[in-house]
Every structure is written in C-alpha cells, then in structure tokens.
Structure 1
Amino acid sequence: MKIQKEIIEFEEGKSFKLFSPSLKNCFFWHYHPEIELVYVEACNGIRHVGKNISDFEGSDLLLIGSNIPHLNFDYKIQTECKQLVLQMREDFLQNIVFPVPEFEAIKKLLDRSYLGLSFSGETKRMVVEKLHFIQDKNPFESLIGLIEILQILADSTEVKELNNEDTRIKWFLNDKIRMGTIYDYIHENYNQDPNVNIIAEDVNLSTPAFCRYFKKQTNMTFTDFVNNYRINQAKLLLLQNECVTDVCFHVGFESLSYFNKLFKKYTGETPTEFKKKHLTKIAV
C-alpha cells in the first residue's frame, strides 16, 4: 500500500496506449514516468493527485505529469464507473514534441502537467469525443488524433491546476506510512466517529506526529478530510433522492444545521439546493 512505481508496457510501433482499467476494490497509490490523460465517469468520486485531494461529480478529465503520485480514480466508487486512460511513452515529449516548433503550445502544456491539470466544460466534451474516436483507428490516425487532443488542451482556458507546487515522486519517496491504511480506515468509519488516535496507532505514529504527517501529505487536517469525505458520500446519497435529514445522519453528522452549514461550505449550496438542481438535470 506504499507508493508503487507502475511499469507500463507499450505495443511495438506505438507511442501511446489507450485502455479502460478497472481497479475499484484496489488502493493503487502509484507513479510512473509516462504522462497520463485520464477520463473517469461516475456519479462522484475522489481525485488524489500529488498533494491535492478533492472530489468530482459526473465526470473528470485530468492530465497528470511524469512521476506525479496519484490514486486510481475509481477507488471506492460504489456506482457504475467508466474510465479511459491514455499513457504516452516516456520519450514522447523529447522525441515527438520538442523537435517541432509548431508544437510549442503542447510543449508548454506537458511541461505544466506536473501540477496535475483538471479540464472541464466544452474542452472536456471535445476531448472525450476524440478519445472514443481514436480507440479503433490505425496507429497513424490515432497519433494525429492525440496531437489534436493535446492542442485542444493546450488552447483551453477551462483548466484548473490541482497543485501549486512540485509534487513529483522525489518529494514522496521517504514516505513509509501506508496511505491505503488511512483511506480504508476513513472509508469504514466515516459515518461513525473516526478517531485520529486509533489510525495514528495503526500506522505506528504518535497522534501529534500523525497529524503533522497527514497535513503535510494532503494539505488538509484529518478532521477536514473526514468531513470532505462525508460530504462526498452525502452528495451520492442525495443524487439517489434520499431525504436530506436521513443523509445527514447516515454519513455521521449529529446536527442537521451543522451538516447544512458544512455542505454549503464545501459545495457552495445547501443539500436541498444541490438535490433540487442535480435531480432536475437527471430528470430532464
């Protein structure tokens, strides 16, 4: 459950691979030198890229740079989940992009990908359409399609940087704590009363040392992370048309007013507003 280096194999004569992995029941906290473009489609889920931990609704499109630790995006998703992952050879930037002056914008995009980039809106729609299009094309047509995808991403303003600092693997290599143990503990106990003392003991740290470690790794306190996880689970239940009061207690909150306040803090809207807006979209 420690950070693992993923060894990626490519077919002979191909500069990239495009496939649909499924690791729902696996905690795969990993890195690889290959740049990766990921599209995931689910009601909601958690993205953990570098030090950024956040959630997504409906779908997510991410460009993840070389040697950035990240968690598989279908981890613990309880609903249907679809994924497309595109991985470029380690020398893709050096051999294909660098020598061509017309690819300057793409070069800057891939250089910037070490921050982890999340794309939305029309950009996401266009790229996903092209990803599906190139799936069954011959190697040459697929490569041209990939260049078009990268140009769309390079020109886009519908992008969010997930990290504000370099989180490549060198920063994480000394991490001896099992992040998977922490994730699993939170997943099993988020609706009860997760105890920081218990999880600290499970990973062989004093509570103060664990709190410092967790904040350094995630930019969040343990309490903030648990609350964020609870709100993420609450959104899933609300999308299933569950009653707001029932959802509040189901995910571990003891006060409806506090749940409403925290939900609005994390999402910008109350649970009732969230439910009304998103269920209306689904109905339409």
Structure 2
Amino acid sequence: MKIQKEIIDFEDGKSFKLFSPSLKDCFFWHYHPEIELVYVEACKGIRHVGKNISDFKDSELLLIGSNVPHLNFDYKIQTECKQLVLQMRENFLQELIFPIPEFDNIKKLLERSYLGLSFSGETKATVVEKLHQIKNENSFSSFMGLIEILQILASSNEVKELNNEDTRIKWFLNDKIRMGTIYDYIHENYDKHPNVNIIAENVNLSTPAFCRYFKKQTNMTFTDFVNNYRLNQAKLLLLQNECVTDVCFHVGFESLSYFNKLFKKYIGETPSAFKKKHLSKVD
C-alpha cells in the first residue's frame, strides 16, 4: 500500500514519451518527477489524483504535475479501455520552457499542474486528436505537436482543478534525512501505535522541537498527520472492496464509531457511503 516512485525511461534524443499502458489488474499508487498528460476512454472509472477521488464517464483528459501521487486510471475497469499517456522529461519545464518567453502561457500551465487539471469539451477532443496524430510522427514533428498541444491546454477555459491545495510529496523529498525517516516510521507503524517521543528521538530532536519541525514541514500535527495517513490507506482499501470494519482495524483505529466519525469529518461521507459510491462506478 506504500506509494511507489515510478522510474521512467526515455529514448535517447527524445524529450517525451507517448504510449498506451494497460494496468487494469494492478493497483499502482505512484508518483514521478515527470509531468504527465493522460487520456483514458472507458464507460466509467475512478480518478485519484493527490487528495481528489472522483469518477469519470466516457473519457478523461488529465494533466498531472511533478511528484503528485495518483492511481492508474484503468484500475478495475472491466469494459474496453483505451489509454494514452504522455510523459515529459524531468527537466522539460526548466530547460525547454522557462528560457523561451513565447512559452510563458505553457510555463504557467505546467507550474499549475501540481493541482491536477481535468480538461473537457472541445479542448479535450482537439488534444486527443492531436495526440493520435503525433504518435507515429518523427521526433521533430512530434515535439512541435506537443508544444501545440500544451499551448491549446494553456489557452483553454474548459479546465477544472482537482485539488485546492498542494498534494505533492515534497514534505518527503525536500528533507530526505529527517522526513524520510519520519515517513518510513509512520508507514511501518500507522496501524499500531505511532509514538511521537520515539520518532523524535530517532531524528535526534526533543519532542517539543520535533513537533515544531513537523508542523512546519507538513502544516499538520503529528497526530493529525497519522490519522490522515490512516484515512488515505483506508480509502485505498475501501476501493479494493474491503469490509469497512476490517479496514477500520487494519489501519490502526481501535473504535469503529471513531473511525466513522473521523472519516466523515475529513472525507465528507461515511466509509460505507464512500465505498458504495466509488465501487458502484466500476462494477
């Protein structure tokens, strides 16, 4: 259930890759530094980008920023599913877009992509057509086609932000020594009894100093973060059709009523309602 870092390989001489993956039977909750444009065509499915979990019908076009955790969009789709994924090299924004003033709108688009952007209407139709066009073109033509696609997206008003806050895992990446240790400790102990005194000692801080440090890094208390982590793990288990009671105890809550109360407070609905709503979309 741990978020995985996907390692993406590119062909020499290529700034991006465009391909059609198929991971229907795989629960791939992952992130990568590369910005990604995803098109999925299916009767219905689930999109999980950052903290946003919602459904889509017929098709979906998404721009996902660097290091934003997301689930593969063909997960649990039992009907026919077509998918195109375009991934840009990690240095694409900094080295290819930043230096060129004519790409200013594209720069703003890619900088905003950390929120997860969903495109609809004519924008989606036009971009999907151009994705298919550049798939078999030579390197130069396909690259120019990509720039045209990005300009179309940057100029579009047919866009919805999926998240209203930064959901990148930079709290982990920006401070690899301490936050990496903390992340590993929480992951190993969230279903038990995570102890703030133990983790403070592990990173060589007093408990009060650790609490200040952690709040600065995550904008949450340690307890709130652990509970949020548990709830995110619970959502993933519920999406795999696990029983609500089993999920409650599996992620470390000792009271079903408290789990239901906390889930509704932060997610906006009960675990049962969440499970019923999202799994009914892909049955």
Tell me the distance in 1 between the aligned counterparts of 2:261 and 2:107: 37
Structure 1 residues 223 and 82 mapped into 2: Cα distance closer, same or farther (>3 Å)? Answer: same
The one-letter amino acid of 1:47's match is R
Q: Secondary structure at the match of 2:241?
A: helix
Tell me the distance in 2 between the aligned counterparts of 1:171 and 1:81: 35
Is the Cα–Cα contact under 8 Å of residues 24 and 77 in structure 1 kept in the other structure? yes
Tell me the distance in 2 between the aligned counterparts of 1:151 and 1:134: 15
The one-letter amino acid of 2:147's match is I
Is 1:36 matched up with 2:45? no
Deviations 1:128-151 (Å, cap 9, x if unpaired)? 000000001111101000000000
Q: Secondary structure at the match of 1:167?
A: coil
Partner of 1:280: none
Q: TM-score, normalised by structure 1?
A: 0.73
Q: Secondary structure at the match of 2:281?
A: helix
Tell me the distance in 1 between the aligned counterparts of 2:100 and 2:280: 46
Quote how far apart the aligned CAs of 1:49 are: 0.1
Partner of 2:275: 226
Deviations 1:13-62 (Å, cap 9, x if unpaired)? 00000000000000000000000000000000000000000000000000
Tell me the distance in 1 between the aligned counterparts of 2:146 and 2:265: 36
The one-letter amino acid of 2:112's match is R
Is the Cα–Cα contact under 8 Å of residues 23 and 72 in structure 1 kept in the other structure? yes
Is the Cα–Cα contact under 8 Å of residues 47 and 71 in structure 2 kept in the other structure? yes
Write out aligned runs for 1:55-94 (5 A). 55-94=55-94
Partner of 2:248: 200
Quote how far apart the aligned CAs of 1:116 are: 0.1
Deviations 1:201-229 (Å, cap 9, x if unpaired)? 22333346755775698565423412321
Partner of 2:143: 143
Partner of 1:12: 12
Partner of 2:3: 3
Is the Cα–Cα contact under 8 Å of residues 109 and 154 in structure 2 kept in the other structure? yes
Partner of 2:190: none
Quote how far apart the aligned CAs of 1:187 are: 4.0
The one-letter amino acid of 2:158's match is E
Partner of 1:113: 113
Structure 1 residues 186 and 16 mapped into 2: Cα distance closer, same or farther (>3 Å)? Answer: closer
Deviations 1:162-187 (Å, cap 9, x if unpaired)? 00000001357736268677545544
Structure 1 residues 31 and 2 mapped into 2: Cα distance closer, same or farther (>3 Å)? Answer: same
Quote how far apart the aligned CAs of 1:188 are: 3.3
Quote how far apart the aligned CAs of 1:78 are: 1.0
Tell me the distance in 1 between the aligned counterparts of 2:70 and 2:112: 16
Which one of 219, 233, 241 corresponds to residue 188 of structure 1?
241
Tell me the distance in 1 between the aligned counterparts of 2:255 and 2:76: 26
Write out aligned runs for 1:159-174 (5 A). 159-170=159-170, 174=183
Tell me the distance in 1 between the aligned counterparts of 2:166 and 2:43: 30
Identity %: 66
The one-letter amino acid of 1:201's match is F
Q: Secondary structure at the match of 1:232?
A: coil
Structure 1 residues 8 and 210 mapped into 2: Cα distance closer, same or farther (>3 Å)? Answer: farther
Tell me the distance in 1 between the aligned counterparts of 2:266 and 2:82: 28
Is the Cα–Cα contact under 8 Å of residues 25 and 75 in structure 2 kept in the other structure? yes
Partner of 1:155: 155
Tell me the distance in 1 between the aligned counterparts of 2:119 and 2:279: 25
In structure 2, runs of 5+ residues without a counterpart are 173-179, 188-228
Is the Cα–Cα contact under 8 Å of residues 53 and 218 in structure 1 kept in the other structure? no
Structure 1 residues 27 and 207 mapped into 2: Cα distance closer, same or farther (>3 Å)? Answer: farther
Q: Secondary structure at the match of 2:118?
A: strand
Q: How many residues align?
A: 229
